[in-house]
Structure 1
């Protein structure tokens, strides 16, 4: 590591920045620092959440100033206590994966287990692990549900890196659910990765009309129809694996059998944070769009403000799971209301 980015130097910089901006004089509790030369991002590991708050600072000012002074792409701060929880979840996923490998043989599945084991040993800086990861090819094609958002884009990128020979599919219920900018993102990414891609038309007129009337929140019913359509396509393709960008179903629950097809929620399996997901997606040109949800959801919440509570509950679940930082969650909720 560059001597300028070693632990003692970072502690000195943080102490000086806190003094400059009028924060309380608290010695930064830094356990380790990890520098990714390729992405030019710095990961700072603190012992616990209070130490993390010290490094981030009120409103993220300390971490922001540190990024500016070092002239790097990003500063990410992790609490070791949070990493312990993520490590345990990944150990549960590894146990389940090893059970599956006893009956389902795939070089790409072996590659995923290898990455997971590396990740358990170093449950941060996922991008760094990918730099030297060896792909094991010759696996049968798989299907990835790709919406154009950062979570599903992350899953497609990872499935391709791991050698699953992914075929991306995008369910298209119309522009009120799949707007043009998501289609642009889908097409740019699949072209960049050089993976096959297909749109699957789907009528959701009943869901659209009834949700606009305020009868229900659209996300649950919309997701069920999309997943049913994608599963039907995967069955037709005789795929062994089906990938989604779910972040919440961690541990063993990130691996689900659906009619002899193994569904893998990659971000959840790898216990990825939202920051890691966005960082890897961004490295392939995928940027997170402003706002929460599709145009239909925004219109429903505008016409029926009480529906916002269900979107807020989703944000709360991601925060409790450690996927979202409280500050990120607060920003999302404030934009909703």
Structure 2
């Protein structure tokens, strides 16, 4: 990520954090720990890595709970590693046969066991979205994403959890931390820290985690059988390239995955 882009994004996310605290939407302890993490990230990346691996971040802090929307991919796994320095993590995976096979489920279980965090699957009905995708009526991502977010929010509400963490890297700057509903705060922690995908892979490597996935889930690959739907996915990939959260090389690879060249 270009230094100027990173600096601008970090300045914006810092303002969002300050505003959230000024509105009394987060506790002083969480504010201070997020601020500390933000300041370390603003320095040398090796120092940031060392901070994530150290025990000092866990001292003298009674951790509040946070739900992490966990897909088992690079972004959500890195989000857990980063957020675990501040929160007591509960990973929640929204499960459907249309977006997850048995191999992916097993991988998720192995990951959460290795990370030593609690984890739950929540089953969700995606039949209408699948049928509309199969027929070429709608691209699935928007509706699927909304369904997943609603399930995660409902889980947080039922369990009295005030923080939901997502790995989506496009919610940059002031959008990276915000109140969403009933005293619950949404934190896109990688966006908050301007951590690009290649940096996430370095973090995972430091924690001896190797994740190799092709682009997209089963449902989105079903959508790509319709040429008209490929362009919507490609537009998102290009947004990620423009935001510099993925490199042009990775963007090209993902596009080729979409169009199957």
TM-score by shorter chain over 0.5 = yes
Q: Quick check: which has more Rg, 1 or 2?
A: 1
Q: How far is 1:284 from its partner?
A: 3.7
2:54 is the alignment partner of 1:116: no
Superposed CA deviations along residues 40-92 of structure 1, whole A, max 9, x for unmatched, are xxxxxxxxxxxxxxxxxxxxxxxxxxxxxxxxxxxxxx6xxx11221121111
Of residues 179-188 and 196-205 in structure 1, the stretch that sits farther from structure 2 once superposed is 179-188
Alignment equivalent of 2:164, drawn from 227, 242, 251: 242
What root-mean-square deviation, in Å, do the aligned CA atoms of Structure 1 and Structure 2 show? 1.9
Q: Deviations over 1:3-34 (max 9, x none)?
A: xxxxxxxxxxxxxxxxxxxxxxxxxxxxxxxx
SS for the counterpart of 1:323 is coil
Structure 2 residue aligned with 1:101: 21
The answer as to whether partners of 1:94 and 1:117 remain within 8 angstroms in 2 is no
The offset of 1:172, in angstroms, is 0.7
Q: Cα–Cα, structure 1 residues 123 and 193, in superposed 2: closer, same or farther, change >3 Å?
A: closer
The alpha carbon displacement at 1:263 in A equals 0.4
Distance change >3 Å, CA 125–CA 215, structure 1 → 2: farther
1:155 aligns with 79
CA distance, structure 2, for counterparts of residue 146 and residue 326 of structure 1: 26
The offset of 1:182, in angstroms, is 2.5
In the alignment, structure 1 residue 270 sits paired with structure 2 residue 190? no
Higher relative contact order (CA 8 A, sep 6+): 2
* Structure 2 unaligned residues grouped into runs of 5+: none
**Structure 1: gaps of 5 or more residues:** 1-77
Instruction: Indicate the residue corresponding to 2:107 in structure 1.
Output: 185
1:178-257 equivalent positions in 2, closer than 5 A: 178-257=100-179
**Structure 2: how far apart are the matches of 1:163 and 1:315?**
30
- Counterpart in 2 of 1:171? 94
Pick one of 203, 218, 222 that aligns with 1:295: 218
Q: TM-score, normalised by structure 1?
A: 0.71
